[in-house]
Structure 1
Amino acid sequence: MTDHKGAPVFVKVDEYKEILDVLDLIKGRIKDIKETLGSIDQLRNEEDSEISMWNRTVEDIEKKIDNIDKIMFEPEQSW
């Protein structure tokens, strides 16, 4: 077998232009995908922040309920 690495490739000009158009289309789609992934990542970060806030709020409420529970059922120890 003959090794053809680096050998010139000949294509018709119209096929070459079509290949360039396809490559431009692919590059455009890749750009769109990256933008979409960036948006998804931003949304995920916002959701994570919101969920963290909810968790802190629930923990705060839980502490307050525990405190009320102690006051209600162990009044002599809470004073």
Structure 2
Amino acid sequence: MRKVLSDTMENMPVFVKIHKSRQVLSLLNFLRDKVNETRNIMHNLKNLHDEELAKIDEWKSKFELLNNKITNTNKNMLEPEKI
């Protein structure tokens, strides 16, 4: 029952007193600006996150390369006859 009432109320027109219409329009413009600002912030955060992931992948590759070099050097020092 609540869902039906809620759906019905969402489709009903909203009446605003004329002297309040400027305030309502101002508030709606403010809200629209804040939504756009938030959208831009989220876009920037996603870009930053993507850059961080790329940098982590780069560091991981460098770490693996360094680890392989250390392992090979250690192996060569312990088993010089196999060089």
Range of TM-score over shorter length: 0.7 to 0.9
TM-score, normalised relative to structure 1: 0.81
The percentage of counterpart residues that share the same residue type is: 28
- The SS at the match of 1:46 is helix
Question: Which has the higher relative contact order, 1 or 2, with Cα contacts under 8 A spaced 6 or more apart?
Answer: 1
Give unpaired runs (5+ residues) of structure 2.
1-7
TM-score, normalised relative to structure 2: 0.78
For the aligned residues, what is the CA RMSD?
Answer: 2.3
- Return the letter of the residue paired with 1:31: N
Give unpaired runs (5+ residues) of structure 1.
none
Are residue 64 (structure 1) and residue 69 (structure 2) matched?
A: yes
- In the other structure, the counterpart of 1:21 is 26
Give the structure with the higher percent helix: 2
- Return the letter of the residue paired with 1:75: P
- In the other structure, the counterpart of 2:57 is 52
**What is the CA distance between 1:66 and its match in structure 2?**
0.5
